[in-house]
Structure 1
Amino acid sequence: MTNLGQFEGPKRRAPRSPLATKWRRFRKNVFVSLAIDLLVIVGTALVLSLLIKTFLIRSFFIPSGSMLETLQIDDRIIVNELVPDIVPLNRGDIVVFKDPGGWLGLAPEIQLDPLSAAGEWLLSAFGIAAPDSSQHLVKRVIGLPGDHVVCCDVDGKLTINGQPITEPYLAPGAKPSEVEFDVVVPEGSFWVMGDNRPNSEDSRFHDDLPSKGFVGAEFVVGRAFVISWPFSNFTWLDNYPDVFKDVPKP
């Protein structure tokens, strides 16, 4: 017990453990400190990138010419994954979707060595690479649930709910369709077509499958909204609302 007025000296700190002392000296090294900070920054960026890729946006590359001239082979596109679960799809939107069954056939399995696989995973995590792009398809939404889509009228135009449309996004010289069809889009599904109609295996050519050529909403990954690479092709992707503005509700 200390008497009143008696000075009490500072309490002694408990001696640090040898491990704590070594860590403190190690941490004071400027290069080690910089490396640790860099690892924290990269780790944080990687986690954020993974979260964004999982819930918000994702990158894909274009493996074929079915969407020429809008999308060139090897273009990189960014996809909004909030569509269609939170944000609804519109006619004219360009969508990326998983194979509804039988559209792509069996894709060959590519074996990568461990180092290449790790690099591919890391680039994919940051949205730079898209190793599974060949397992997805990209087309333009033409028909929404309930729409009556017909090809073609006496003028050779596609009609939606009886309204003919003029499609400025078609590849030069391409007709709306060389194949006639008359479909009503089921609830929860979409009718999709490529802009390069003569070279697009789209909804028109899969009516013999269980999906009948329609793409269910559960297969849609999201809506493509920008070409991000190569930079010379950078552009925001248009859904041409004026093309569909006069289409009546089904």
Structure 2
Amino acid sequence: MSEQTDESRSGRPSRSGWRFLRDLAVIVVVALLASFLVKAYLVRAFSIPSGSMERTLLIGDNVLVNELVPGVVPLRRGDVVVFRDPGGWLTAEQGDDLIKRVIGLPGDHVSCCDARGRLSVNGHAVDEPYVVRPADVDRVSAEDFDVTVPAGRIWVMGDNRYESADSRIHGTVPTADVVGRAFVVTWPVTRWGVLGRYGDEWDAVPDPR
């Protein structure tokens, strides 16, 4: 039968016990630091303030936003993005941030509507299955428009197309004002899901000439 060490008899942790506690403390600190860095620089939570993105997003939904877009990861047509108010989009009571879908990138020619009520980007008509509109309306926008998106800016629209004050009213958004791309709904649990950009539709759009 082995003899107990002085540390064991005294009730103090052994050397291996101290190493375990030290390693555990390091793991906890690193995890907390990583969580802080992720929240501060990579991912941000955002709560949906209005019905302009219904049915894709409902009032009160919480989403996570990838803040690497557009600084590290480029914007793509179809992305759902959070952006700061460029000025005049919101009242003081409504907050500072908005969420819409990217329709046109810098240099894109965006127009609406064709004979089937669709918008076109660079001459390519886009089918938008996410658009909410009145049952008796076959156009994705009540207003006609024909614009070329300036350099350094994007054209954005809400999915609830007839209840969204977007680029049709306020004009384009500076890419510098984009906070990031919303990629998942986290709350409520019944609404959890990944936010798609409908790449099959948007990737068919040609680049501007």
**Which string of whole-angstrom CA distances, capped at 9 and with x for unpartnered residues, describes residues 189-235 of structure 1?**
110000001111111111xxxxxx11111100000010011111110
For 1:49 and 1:92, the matched residues in 2 are separated by 29
**What letter matches 1:181 in structure 2?**
F
CA distance 1:46–1:157, shift in 2 (3 Å): same
For 1:42 and 1:67, the matched residues in 2 are separated by 39
For 1:145 and 1:180, the matched residues in 2 are separated by 20
For 1:205 and 1:169, the matched residues in 2 are separated by 21
Percent identity reads 55
**What letter matches 2:124 in structure 1?**
Q
2:61 corresponds in structure 1 to 75
Which of 208, 230, 239 aligns to 2:188? It is 230
Tell me which stretches of 4 or more aligned residues in structure 1 moved more than 2 Å. 38-50, 105-108, 172-175
For 2:152 and 2:51, the matched residues in 1 are separated by 28
Number of aligned residues: 188
Matched, 1:153 2:111: no
Uncovered stretches (5+) of structure 1, i.e. residues with no partner? 1-26, 29-37, 109-133, 207-212
**Which string of whole-angstrom CA distances, capped at 9 and with x for unpartnered residues, describes residues 101-120 of structure 1?**
11102237xxxxxxxxxxxx
Deviation at 1:40, TM superposition (A): 8.6
Which of 80, 92, 96 aligns to 1:94? It is 80
Uncovered stretches (5+) of structure 2, i.e. residues with no partner? 1-11, 14-23
For 1:68 and 1:99, the matched residues in 2 are separated by 20
Max radius of gyration: which structure?
1
Deviation at 1:148, TM superposition (A): 0.3
In structure 2, the residue corresponding to 1:107 is in which secondary structure? helix
CA contact (8 A) 2:118 2:127 kept: yes
For 2:120 and 2:189, the matched residues in 1 are separated by 36
1:192 corresponds in structure 2 to 156
Deviation at 1:42, TM superposition (A): 7.3
2:143 corresponds in structure 1 to 179
Task: State TM-score, norm by structure 1.
Answer: 0.68
